[in-house]
Amino acid sequence: MQRRSTINITLVIFLALLLLHGIRSGEFSDPKHWFIKTLMLLPGIIIGIAFHEYAHALFASKLGDPTPKFQGRVTLNPIAHIEPFGFIALIFCGFGWGKPVMINPNNFRKRRRDELIVGLSGVVMNLVLAVVFTALLKFLLSTMGSAFSIGSPSAGLRYYLQLMVIYAVQINLVLMIFNLIPVPPLDGFGIIIEIFNLKNTQFYRVVYEYGQWILLILLLFGIVGRILQPAVSICMNLLFNIFGIPVYI
């Protein structure tokens, strides 16, 4: 309970500072533009978080741990997976997280292997969703034409539909890459720990204990942003190139 309270306090401080930064930088200077953009982001955020956490719960259940099922997490219902702070962070800050799926590793048949699979399942799901939404975007561009080409109208159903799908690709790549950062409570930490078998080391105990503060420092000093922005851009350009979608859209 103490650790949970500490994490919540950390997140409140972090979100307050980022909100203040957004106000000072003029991000909310055009409320109408911000509101429309937020509406366009919501489907990608809700789907990305729900499928990410569902993947964790599903694989844990399939590998022998009934805990997620008992807690009602083996579902695609977003309500079961939305974590308020993570949801707000995605809207205001461009990165975030869902409600962590609780597991009991003692129920796994091969504990180290199965923990690694469960850890990887969420980020792999976001990658799959990014590919699916890129394919959907290709279909929309092929059947409707690009709403982003020179001479195309800057508004209308076609524009907003295509923009919503582009944001869905972006959000899922953000969730994938952000969760791969090897700092608790993110998935990347558990993945690294299981790959290199570090659970019984001093490194694991120290980083696990102070992980939320390490992550807060990385966020406040913009290190996470400097990782996310180029990584998401590279992955997005790669997907668009694979599907033959012009990057300029």
Task: List active site positions.
Answer: 53
pLDDT at 170: 96
Residue in 246, 185, 188 with CA at minimum distance from that of residue 216: 185
Q: 27 with 34: CB under 8 angstroms? A: yes
13 pLDDT more than 70: no
How many helices (H) and strands (E) the chain has is answered by 9, 0
Q: In this predicted model, what pLDDT tens digit does every residue of 142-168 receive, in sequence order?
A: 988 887 765 555 557 888 999 999 999
188 pLDDT more than 50: yes
**pLDDT band of 38, cuts 50, 70, 90:** confident
Mean pLDDT on 155-184: 92
Q: In this predicted model, what pLDDT tens digit does every residue of 69-128 receive, in sequence order?
A: 999 999 999 999 998 877 887 777 767 778 999 999 999 999 999 999 999 999 999 999
Residue in 66, 126, 127 with CA at minimum distance from that of residue 101: 66
Q: 44 with 247: CB under 8 angstroms? A: no
pLDDT at 163: 93
